[in-house]
Structure 1
Amino acid sequence: MTSTISLKNVSKLYKDVPAIEDISFSLDEGELVALVGHNGAGKTTLIKAILGLIRPTGGTVRVLGEDPVSGNLSVRKDVGYLPESVSFHLALTGKEILSFYARLKRVPMSGWQNLFDLVGLAKTAADRPVRTYSKGMRQRLGLAQALLGEPRLLLLDEPTSGLDPALRRSFYDLILEFKRKGTTVLLSSHALSELEDRAERVIIVNRGRKIADGSLDELRRIACLPTHIRFKPSANAAVETWSRGSVKWLERKDKFLEADIDHREKIAVISAVTSDPDALTSMTIIEPTLDDVYAHFLQGQGRKP
């Protein structure tokens, strides 16, 4: 099966200054992958290379089997892109904006009303000039243009910027529906907490290099970060029961016991703590977050905060 995106040893220099160096990865049909990195890490350069807006200094980029710079231009109809900063002609209406981009992509405009519904824009907004739109409405219009033609590949750069929490949830519901239909999604965002339960794979870039690539569980194992366990013994349970083990539990003022557990010992500790359910009144297990994993890999690269 041909990968939707394939990068092999891709580099890009600007006046001998590397923006990205020797990056390789591939994305298959129906994957939702988070591209994570600080500002200046190389994310936007990567996206531009995938879009064919820049030619790599070295390496190869293939999108749907074609070179995005000089390959079959019809492939671009199957690619949707939402940039970080959405900018439209303020005098045009929402419908006119979609019509303009539909002509550029050479896709039909017949489903524009459905697109307005999908992204949460009222049909009444279709005939209003974009200058009357709020920031969130312009972001949703940008998503609508990215979805024109039901693309096989979606490239989304900070897509939830300007959206309130309810609209962020509906946005991800929409993206996950496209993913289920087979669309490949590469999503760049600083809102890491939003990605934890949605992205099945995370690619971390730093200083123009790929420093990590895998599912969140895989990256947690590589990072060897501890799991935080917190529980409260019942009134008739003796704290000494757990204090005699190898784990050093800290007793808080509210009578909760907590400790950071090595990932290799997590299952055994949980089994021991829960061996007598009547001895517990509550228990919380906190795995390392994507923020924790991201910080770990950046520290390994020696990046200063």
Structure 2
Amino acid sequence: MRYREFLRFRLKDIVPDEVILPAGFHVVGYVALVRLNSELMKYASSVGEATLDYDHRLRSVAVRTGPTKGIERKPAYMVVAGSNDTTTIHTENGVHFKLDPIRVTFSGGNKGERIGMSKRVEAGECVVDMFSCVGQFALHVAKRNEVDVIAIEINPEAYRFLVENIRINELEHKVSAVLGDCRVVHPTHVANRIIMGYLHNTEQFLPHALDTLVEKGGTIHMHKATSDKSLQESITSITRTCKERGFVSDIEVRKIKNYSPGVSHLVFDICVSLK
């Protein structure tokens, strides 16, 4: 039985028929993350208990209470059923992530991009992950390739999980973790490839990414939430910033997923070389 049908059956005496129930939920380890509309929030605990019964592998259910905030990317969730201990192990294509998904961000919708990125990297490269969080990109890249990875993270709690995940995956010889604002702590002229997995105002970080590349240039994968109307404006801005740093740029744009109405999660693959 599908999740929405299961909820409708289980909650038929609790939730009015006209209230729209969620069609699914996101699973991180043993934790279910559910988005409820405003009408459903009053029934959150009932939805949570039903969700635990729907999937017996789950130990906790949390509902989203607001948007992810700030450069530290702090999610807003509230546990409504099951255990309040939401630290878990999430395994993705052989890579193990220890994290607390209600305290640090982890998007299941980006799984394909994370795995795909590990296939784009070439042996011998130095890769800098400027927004590493718990290592979502950095560990996939290091697990599949003979590379050196520098993983930068500003959120102290995410950084703590990042360091532990490097150890859990036995990648200490490939991945170095750095705590701090990537605009301040980034190395200079070392990277062949840079991952910028941050969606908001990402272009303000681009000059720092360019300074991190080796002097002859390299490739930057810049994520950004972009509306259809502003796509060309973003491309023009990227081209201008690269030119100001003495680089010629070749830009390809890929869509990862819908982000919100009229806005897409895009990746700008920026290959730069000296003029």
TM over 0.5: no
Larger relative contact order (CA 8 Å, sep ≥ 6): 1
Q: TM-score range by the shorter chain?
A: under 0.3
Larger Rg: 1
